[in-house]
Amino acid sequence: MKRVRKAVIPAAGLGTRFLPATKAIPKEMLPIVDKPIIQYVVEEAVQSGLEDVCFVTSQGKSAIEDHFDYDYQFATVLAEQGKTELLQIVREISQMIVISSMRQKKPMGLGHAVLVTEPFVGDEPFGVFLGDDIIASKKPVMRQLLEIFLERQASVLAVLEVPGEAVSRYGVVSVEPTGDSQGRLFRITDLVEKPSPDQAPSNLAIIGRYLLTPRVFPALQNTPPGKGGEIQLTDGLRRLLTKEPVYAYRFEGTRYDAGNKLEYLKATVEFALQRDDVADAFRSYLQQLEL
Ligand code: G1P
């Protein structure tokens, strides 16, 4: 089996839930403390040992590519001003990983976004990272999935138990146990995209980290539009399941839905409380708020 080197990051969505902030700025560029959301995701890919990233973008998303590019003029100004620490920060971002991008020309769904990356991915297993999901964990979630992949040589999806009503916001899996010692790994028997709570096969929701075999591409090619008239990745994986096993892994870590305002605020507060430069002052500020 080939090594996992490539990461796909779909970033073509309109970001309407964060209007007006996202009218002229991609939602992926909104900061948590001082780092754009997309950088947290790319750092997770790097920390998981992946080497090549492909963003799936659409019109108005060029700020994402610019962010990971090397801005020669900006760097020269910082160097002239002797701001070496800042210079180091911008250098590190551009040297982080090899970046490329592909266009999704029509908003035809997440499955379609993954499908357009087939020329980039080729015949290799690869990771998919959804930028709305920010996950704080000791071991990066993609690395957790990679370890399962190495053992099982099959696709594996990150899943999380969610409360009853919430299932309708996610892809939901039905599973059977694999008997792993920690009770975190399951074999998927079915998947359904955004079921109503009474039709959900379980409360295990797919969270935006997938490690997939390239056999997902022919499966997606044959996947008709589903929920919302879009080609759903969940439906493509359901097809893949008829050809080969797919696993679900109840990952270790705390997940924030950065596509949701309240969760975005929580992530901002919690990430700030872990930052050496602002944590102490921020904690004192929060403590004196009369809530
Ligand atoms: C997408 C997927 C869904 C998954 C979710 C995770 O939905 O279609 O299966 O559970 O991401 O965040 P979206 O949130 O883009 O509607």
- Would you state the pLDDT for residue 46? 93
Say which residues have a Cβ less than 8 Å from residue 28's Cβ, sequence separation at least 6: 11, 15, 36, 37, 38, 61, 64, 131
Residues 211 and 154: their CA atoms lie apart, in Å, by 8
70 Cβ neighbours under 8 A, 6+ residues apart: 90, 91, 94, 95
Residue nearest to atom 13 of ligand 1 (CA): 170
Residue 235 in contact with ligand 1 by CB distance below 6 A:
no
Mutate to test the pocket of ligand 1, among 16, 194, 204, 206 (most ligand atoms within 8 A of CB): 206
State residue 182's pLDDT score.
87
Predicted pLDDT of residue 290: 85
Question: Distance, CA 208 to ligand 1 centroid (Å)?
Answer: 7
The rounded average pLDDT for each run of 10 residues, N- to C-terminus, in the chain (291 residues) is 91 89 93 95 94 94 90 86 86 84 93 97 97 93 96 96 93 94 93 95 96 98 95 98 97 93 94 96 95 84
What are the DSSP calls for the chain, one per residue? Answer: -----EEEEE-----GGGTTTTSSS-GGG-EETTEEHHHHHHHHHHHTT--EEEEEE-TT-HHHHHHHS--HHHHHHHHHTT-HHHHHHHHHHHHSSEEEEEE--S---HHHHHHTTHHHH-SS-EEEE-TTEEEE-SS-HHHHHHHHHHHH-SEEEEEEE--GGGGGGSEEEEEEE---TTS-EEEEEEEEES--GGG-S-SEEEEEEEEE-TTHHHHHHTPPP-GGGS--HHHHHHHHTTTS-EEEEE-SSEEEETTSHHHHHHHHHHHHTT-TTTHHHHHHHHHT---
Give all domains of the chain, ordered by start, each with its CATH number: 6-280 (3.90.550.10)
Cβ atoms < 10 Å from Cβ of 228 = 10
**Could you give the angle at the alpha carbon of 133 between the alpha carbons of 127 and 134, nearest 5°?**
100
> For position 92, what pLDDT does the model report?
82
Residue 90's pLDDT is 81
Ligand 1 nearest atom to the CA of residue 259, by list position = 14
Residue tagged 């990233």 (tokens): 53
For residue 207, the CA-to-ligand 1 centroid distance in Å is: 7
Span from the CA of 168 to the centroid of ligand 1 (angstroms)? 10
Q: What does the alpha-carbon distance between residue 150 and residue 179 come to, in Å, rounded to a whole number?
A: 17
